[in-house]
Structure 1
Amino acid sequence: MTHKSPIAVVGMAGLFPGARDLDTFWHNIIHKISAAGEIPDSRWIPDLYQTHGPRAHPDKAYSTRACLLDDYRIKPGDVNLDADLLAQLDPLHHLVLGAGKAALANCNLSSIKNDRIGISLAAIALPTSSANLMTCAILENAFEEKLFNTSLDKTALTPNQCAGGRVTGYPASLLAKAFDIRGTAFTLDAACASSIYAVKIACDELWANEADAMIAGGVSRPDNIFTQVGFSQLRALSPSGRCAAFDESADGLVVGEGAGLLVLKRLEDALAHGDFIYGLVAGIGLSNDMSGNLLAPDKEGQIRAMKSAYEVAGWQPTDVDFIECHGAGTPVGDLVELQSLHDLWKGLKKTNNKPCAIGSVKSVVGHLLTGAGAAGMIKTLLAFKHKTLPPSANFTRPSKNSPLVHNSPFKVLTEPEPWATKDSRTPRRAAVSAFGFGGINGHLLLEEWVPGAHPSKNPGTENKASGISVSGSPGPAIPMAIVGMGAAFGNLGSLREFQEVIFKGTPAMAARPANRWKGCDALVAERYGLGDLPGAFVSDLIVHPGRFHIPPNEISDMLPQQLLMLQIAASALTDAGLPLRGKRPDMGAIIGIG
């Protein structure tokens, strides 16, 4: 991200646990009201008795507490969607539509054509309640047929019924359809950093003049059995059901759900349209860890993302007064994040010598996964609005090994404080971090809009202690070259095989492999209208042990598409003449999944 003119936040909305509007959300933050509670019986499929179990027991959840947002449904008259379709949609879709409606009502888009408005939305690629129910119906029907020799219910599902189970690509396109938004619309998943990635892509669309307004943010509302059991198996879930980020009592994360959306414009357009400006996006840094593991992140990757954001903004780390941390409540993850911040600030001093306030909204609404960054950004923008440094819930004192103990430049607030500035022309500045499982990092810088105080960038400055240098204006656009390719389509396992089929005009379609649906083939074919349609199916994947440094006992647990992705990425690197091993801090990866 090269520095360009700031992006203005001109609208925002959120649906969060315990708060269906932003006034309530802010009230809960200021008063440290946690939304954590027992998961109701209606949310467990199978039931709680079958799912709950002791710690580290296979396929069991050792905590039945989460921060949930139940019974939210948007009314048919509020969106431009067929009533039958709306009735079939998953609760996740209703959250997206509800947050989208509120965000659009909170801004001014009357001067912008619909085809110049786009959507960049983060949503987790996990089964939703509706998707899980569809799968359960198929399996239950198949089991009944096998056990009791009953006839299968092969009633075909309607398109609207199928839509309710769509997870990965549907939320953004549904939002676009509901409000007649005709620009770019897509959904992404970058783990817990997803919302910041969504905002980054939205900013890029605006800077490239591909859009004049973008709706960006995140939503998360998977079936809780996957999050409760999954995080239990990772031993990341809080046994106490209480998120206490940075506190000595922290014992893990508490899952949350909800949606948060921002409406973004270029600053000059926002001023021309007379928009209310909640704040400015001054810089965003993205990175991926090159070491560490799922639950033990690498601080080098986090620092790389943070430095990148400050380079873009032209700030030094000490320019911010508040940092909305990732702060998931996992002792190891929180410790690494604090170490990253201390390393970044090493040798630097704030001009007012006051500790920088830090906190985590997860102590109030839980960990919203792909929506976590959106909750953090909205919290920070509300802090600008109210000129108040917000506290964190469930914090009393740091652990003995925490960097917060010894002369730390950071402080977790336990009560709200007035957010003072040096003078009337100095804007409030803050940072938001979101660090995803597996090492996907995002750091976003926000600045209060103070007329006459901009531009805030200070070109050409450099701080030796932090290693952050601020570059000047962006250079000319550089043409992109494709230097390596890899491919596998169906049983065509290489570029050469694909090339031969294309040039010879030989069909690559084949019959569906036997038992593709694990004994439910006939039922699935009928209910989903597949019949005997041929396709380009991948029947076998052969992975040589050690090629990707994956323990052999873990390969069997991986999804076929994950192994296929690794193989094709390796082929593309080889085709480009690049080694498979080695650190590549300036290389990224974008993978499309279906």
Structure 2
Amino acid sequence: MRAAENSGGAAGHLADPDTTMAVIGVSCRFPGAEDPDRLWRLLAAGESSVAEVPPGRWSGPAAGQTPRRGAFLERPEEFDAAFFGISPREAPYVDPQQRLALELGWEALEHARIVPDRARGTRLGTFVGVTGDDYAQLLSPHAHTLATQHAMPGVQRGIIANRLAAFLGARGPSITVDSGQSSSLVALHLACGSLRGDESDAALVCGVNLHLLPQSVLLAARLGGLSPRGRCFTFDERADGYVPGEGGGAVVLKRLRTALADGDRILCLVRGSATTNDPGGETLTAPTAAAQAEALVRAYRQAGIAPEAVDYVELHGTGTPTGDPVEAAALGEAIGRHRPADRPLAVGSVKTNIGHLSGAAGVAGFIKTVLALSHRQLPPSLNFDNPHPRIPLDALNLRVQQELGPWPGGPAAGRPRVAGVSSFGMGGTNCHVVLSDWCPESAPARPRPEPAPADPALPAAPWLLSGRGEAALREAASRLANSAAARDPEVSAGDVAWSLASSRSAFEHRAAIVATSRDELLAGAQALAEGTAAPGVLTGTARPGGVGVV
């Protein structure tokens, strides 16, 4: 009998190492939250990156008819094409969504401590969720005069996963998914199936979304999906739609057994997932609670976790007066009614922080939940005062998480921390994914080391950095300084040194920061970022036959 089937009832404590997936790396790029650390700070502080549409982003008649608020990336067109082996002739034809997927994929692999160069020839699967093709529409009117042989692969959204796989040299499945707004969570669901079916040894899942043209936003407004007030009031009585969002995220997965054998750092577990099709209510795009509830029931059944063990659900949560009541009813039916009245299910939506990322919305909610499990805290869902009149929270046994608080349940309750993530496509493709934190006692895990002191005395430890150019090297130093300064002091300087030496690609321009304390290493990284000299900071350029120090 599999461990998940012999879980001892509602707790669902044991995780089958062959059917459970380990999340070992994440990356993200959202407005005001350009990496997971900054995303968590934004979420924990209850902040929003929604603002006015950047000046000059859109032009033409449609630009004047769209709502003027959303969460937009700055300069999404900027891209280091040479880093990814893309020639100057080809680069202008590569959709910025393809560019963003390449960047996120690289960063997620590094976060998983997988040297991207070593993915070549492996059974790494690449799965990307995306819906928009604004760049193809931008190029189309000029195709007869400007297009070259690079245009078609550059703008075809179905090739985004293939572009990522080709760059990495990965030989696992490579699939681009468009199921509407649920695309990236469905991509994750398919990746888990590929791992369980032994098609892949690891999977890189990505979701990206950019609004390069106002037309797609205008169509959403005409459908009635966008909030005229420019805020997402999920589950609130003021709910009148969502705001558009940009960016993306990527996740690296392995089977739990493989991750344990490889000695990977495990952020959390994917215990199960399911998809259903909603044939529609009164219209093609009208959701039904029955179809959404079925997706939840199937996901928790596959996970071997009873509904009453769920602590939190990250909502699809668009803040629309039609969608929110249906989603609430489905949650009440599948989870809420199975729980004690004094323990309502906590819910929230990242769309209140960073807008609705369309095809990348699912992975955004997934990454938020991974971070919440890692930090063992629930961040607030914004813009909620009073429930929508068609959402009887008490009767459904639900509550909106309104402030940063400790994760409910968990080991103190004799079970792991459990969460769900929902994402629903406009045409009826529903997806729900079940996560739990990593409980080493539930599987043959390796012993964990004792936490390091806050700032231990250490022998001279080198922090090694590299880049394809001097500017890239300085940027790497800046990111290192910001990230290391923000991290918990229990993450020792020696651990950072080991990660930099063992899990990063080595490029031509290199630097070593050598010091005997964490503060000195941080000061050296900051000096390198600013291009100034500092004790213990060495720079050089790798050349055939040796390294030249400059």
TM-score (norm: length of structure 2): 0.73
Which of 168, 182, 189 is the aligned partner of 2:171?
Answer: 182
User: Are 2:136 and 1:131 aligned?
Assistant: yes
User: Are 2:118 and 1:118 aligned?
Assistant: no
Aligned match of 1:40:
54
Instruction: Measure the CA separation in 2 of the matches of 1:98 and 1:113.
Output: 17
User: What letter is aligned with 1:263?
Assistant: V
Unpaired segments ≥5 residues, structure 1: 54-60, 139-153, 456-594
Which of 311, 332, 351 is the aligned partner of 1:342?
Answer: 332
Instruction: Measure the CA separation in 2 of the matches of 1:399 and 1:132.
Output: 38
Shift of 1:347: 4.0
Alignment map for 1:145-184 (pairs within 5 Å): 155=145, 157-167=147-157, 169-184=158-173
Shift of 1:399: 2.3
Instruction: Measure the CA separation in 1 of the matches of 2:323 and 2:389.
Output: 16
User: Are 2:92 and 1:101 aligned?
Assistant: no
SS in 2 for 1:114: coil
Which of 350, 353, 356 is the aligned partner of 1:364?
Answer: 353
Aligned residues: 425
Which of 397, 401, 404 is the aligned partner of 1:409?
Answer: 397
Aligned match of 2:37:
23
Flag the structure with higher helix content: 2
Given the superposition, is the C-alpha separation of residues 134 and 291 from structure 1 closer, same or farther in structure 2, using an over 3 Å criterion? closer
Given the superposition, is the C-alpha separation of residues 432 and 290 from structure 1 closer, same or farther in structure 2, using an over 3 Å criterion? same
Asked whether the equivalents of residues 96 and 219 of structure 1 are also in contact (C-alpha less than 8 Å), the reply is yes
Aligned match of 1:218:
207
Asked whether the equivalents of residues 336 and 344 of structure 2 are also in contact (C-alpha less than 8 Å), the reply is no
Asked whether the equivalents of residues 119 and 185 of structure 1 are also in contact (C-alpha less than 8 Å), the reply is yes
Aligned match of 1:313:
303
Which of 52, 64, 70 is the aligned partner of 1:66?
Answer: 70
Instruction: Measure the CA separation in 2 of the matches of 1:285 and 1:161.
Output: 36
Shift of 1:222: 4.2
Aligned match of 1:288:
277
User: What letter is aligned with 2:57?
Assistant: R
Given the superposition, is the C-alpha separation of residues 156 and 367 from structure 1 closer, same or farther in structure 2, using an over 3 Å criterion? closer
Shift of 1:221: 1.7
Shift of 1:43: 2.4
User: What letter is aligned with 1:7?
Assistant: M
Which of 34, 59, 64 is the aligned partner of 1:52?
Answer: 64
User: What letter is aligned with 1:225?
Assistant: P
Asked whether the equivalents of residues 388 and 417 of structure 1 are also in contact (C-alpha less than 8 Å), the reply is yes
Aligned match of 2:292:
302
Given the superposition, is the C-alpha separation of residues 175 and 83 from structure 1 closer, same or farther in structure 2, using an over 3 Å criterion? farther
Asked whether the equivalents of residues 202 and 252 of structure 2 are also in contact (C-alpha less than 8 Å), the reply is yes
User: What letter is aligned with 1:86?
Assistant: A
SS in 2 for 1:281: strand
Shift of 1:165: 2.6
Aligned match of 2:225:
236
Shift of 1:171: 1.1
Q: Report which of the two structures shows the higher radius of gyration computed on alpha carbons.
A: 1
SS in 1 for 2:338: coil
Shift of 1:39: 1.7
Flag the structure with higher strand content: 2
Asked whether the equivalents of residues 36 and 65 of structure 1 are also in contact (C-alpha less than 8 Å), the reply is yes
Given the superposition, is the C-alpha separation of residues 112 and 263 from structure 1 closer, same or farther in structure 2, using an over 3 Å criterion? same
Q: Which moved more, 1:432-441 or 1:105-114?
A: 105-114
TM-score (norm: length of structure 1): 0.68
Asked whether the equivalents of residues 50 and 69 of structure 2 are also in contact (C-alpha less than 8 Å), the reply is yes
SS in 1 for 2:180: coil
Unpaired segments ≥5 residues, structure 2: 6-15, 445-550
**1:374-415 CA distances to partner (integer Å, 9 max, x unpaired)?**
0011000000111101111111221233221x3542211211
Instruction: Measure the CA separation in 1 of the matches of 2:104 and 2:300.
Output: 30
SS in 1 for 2:441: coil
Given the superposition, is the C-alpha separation of residues 177 and 346 from structure 1 closer, same or farther in structure 2, using an over 3 Å criterion? closer
Instruction: Measure the CA separation in 2 of the matches of 1:195 and 1:201.
Output: 10
SS in 1 for 2:442: coil
Asked whether the equivalents of residues 276 and 291 of structure 2 are also in contact (C-alpha less than 8 Å), the reply is yes
**1:308-356 CA distances to partner (integer Å, 9 max, x unpaired)?**
00110111112111100100010110011001111223642249x4322
SS in 2 for 1:52: helix
Asked whether the equivalents of residues 64 and 228 of structure 1 are also in contact (C-alpha less than 8 Å), the reply is no
Instruction: Measure the CA separation in 1 of the matches of 2:382 and 2:218.
Output: 25
Given the superposition, is the C-alpha separation of residues 194 and 161 from structure 1 closer, same or farther in structure 2, using an over 3 Å criterion? closer
Q: Which moved more, 1:426-435 or 1:177-186?
A: 177-186
User: Are 2:19 and 1:5 aligned?
Assistant: yes
**1:526-580 CA distances to partner (integer Å, 9 max, x unpaired)?**
xxxxxxxxxxxxxxxxxxxxxxxxxxxxxxxxxxxxxxxxxxxxxxxxxxxxxxx
Which of 70, 94, 97 is the aligned partner of 1:92?
Answer: 97
Asked whether the equivalents of residues 295 and 333 of structure 1 are also in contact (C-alpha less than 8 Å), the reply is no
Aligned Cα root-mean-square deviation (Å): 2.3
SS in 1 for 2:327: helix
User: Are 2:94 and 1:80 aligned?
Assistant: no
User: What letter is aligned with 1:137?
Assistant: H
Aligned match of 1:591:
none
Which of 250, 254, 270 is the aligned partner of 2:239?
Answer: 250
**1:429-452 CA distances to partner (integer Å, 9 max, x unpaired)?**
100000111221001100111101
